[in-house]
A = this chain, B = another copy of it.
Amino acid sequence: MTRFDVTILGCGSAMPTTLHNPPSQLVELNEKLFMIDCGEGTQLQMRRYKARMGKLLALFISHLHGDHIFGLPGLISTLSLLGRTDELHIYAHREIDAMLKPLLIYMGNHISFRIRVHPLNPREKEVIYENKTIRISSFPLKHRIDTNGFLFEEKEPLRHIIREMIGLYNIPIREIAAIKAGANFVTGDGTLIPNSTLTRPAPPPRRYAYCSDTVYAPEIIPYIEGVDLLYHEATFAESELNRAAETYHSTARQAAVIAAAAGVKKLMIGHFSSRYNELDTLLNEARAVFSDTELADEGKIVSL
């Protein structure tokens, strides 16, 4: 199975601390490297965890609050100093142009590559990136400004051909793609070998959903139903329920209620408020509702 890894570069919130960096993650999927959000210091976190900067294909920015974007200028500058020539794709809300341009102009270094901004639709779900094997969608979250979540999916993989059958029935190479796609095979003497004899079902496609920042919003459940891993913000403990609502953030318990209702396989909570020096309360409050919860942490890698 190809690699499908989520690496946490930062899981703090607006005010970074020595415990948690501002939000950023890497998603490595089918040999492609994607980044979600890019808080201040993200390029250093990439170095710390030995991420391969050269492989970075696209950035997905959930919303334009500082803690999710202040690392962009430095990252862009460093990619340019490293001599990148491949276009860099940034999926973000339209207003990012006005923020990036003045900084880029004064960067002093000519940027060695083109930056292409793809505006996100803050109102409904849209497929924003697609190739033969993967699909990435954005969908609306509910925060103080336009904010989108992201869904990373493998496409329905092809069935696996059983190696021994190729020799047994003298299957020519040109037939193999069709058989993987579900075709039967007819031997030289006219015998039909059903596909189910020749192949094993593919593993189910894996899916990862990122939901940060957002207030408790059951309307996002249809977008994330049954994912293998849900990252959901959990800025506050339940004792700060009112503050969570006022600031359009979630409590750990609310993240778990969403995870349970959406029937996800695993929940990871993050975007922790700087007020928490230890996170046991948040973890326990979430686990009381959804047991398969874990805390995000800098450097943590979840392999799907």
Which residues does chain B contribute within 8 Å of A43, judged by CB atoms?
Answer: 16, 40
Task: Say whether, besides A66-B107, A108-B64, A108-B145, A18 and B44 are in contact (CB < 8 Å).
Answer: yes
Residues of B within 8 A of A101 (CB): 102
Tell me the complex Cα distance, A44–B81, Å. 24
A40 adjacent to B74 (CB under 8 Å): yes
Contact pattern, A 245-283, Cβ under 8 Å of B = 1, otherwise 0: 000000000000000000000000000000000000000
Q: How far apart sit A10 and B40, CA to CA, in the bound complex (Å)? A: 15
Interface SS of chain A: loop
Q: How many copies does the complex hold?
A: 2
A57 contacts B by Cβ under 8 Å: no
B41 touches A103 (CB 8 A): no
Contact, CB under 8 Å: B107 / A65 = yes
Partner of A74, one of B18, B70, B109: B70
Candidates B66, B82, B106; contact of A99 at CB < 8 Å: B106
Query: Which single residue of chain B is at the shortest CB-CB distance from A74?
Result: B40
CA distance A64 to B73 in the complex (A): 13
Contact check, A108 vs B66: say whether CB atoms are below 8 A apart: yes
A55 cross-chain contacts in B, Cβ below 8 A? none
User: Which residues on the B side are within 8 Å of A168 (C-beta)?
Assistant: none
Any B CB within 8 A of the CB of A98 = yes
Within 8 A of B (CB), among A47-103: 47-48, 64-67, 70-71, 73-74, 77-78, 81-82, 95, 98-99, 101-103
Task: Indicate whether A302 reaches chain B with its CB closer than 8 angstroms.
Answer: no
Contacts of A98 in B (CB 8 A): 102, 106
A78: nearest residue on chain B (CB-CB)? B15
Select from chain B the residue with minimum beta-carbon distance to A99: B102
Listed A/B pairs (9) with beta-carbon separation below 8 Å:
A16-B43, A16-B47, A40-B71, A64-B106, A64-B108, A67-B77, A95-B106, A99-B106, A101-B102
Instruction: Known pairs A40-B70, A98-B106; list 16 more (Cβ under 8 Å).
Output: A14-B77, A15-B81, A16-B78, A40-B41, A40-B73, A41-B44, A65-B107, A66-B73, A66-B103, A66-B106, A66-B107, A67-B74, A70-B77, A99-B103, A99-B105, A108-B144
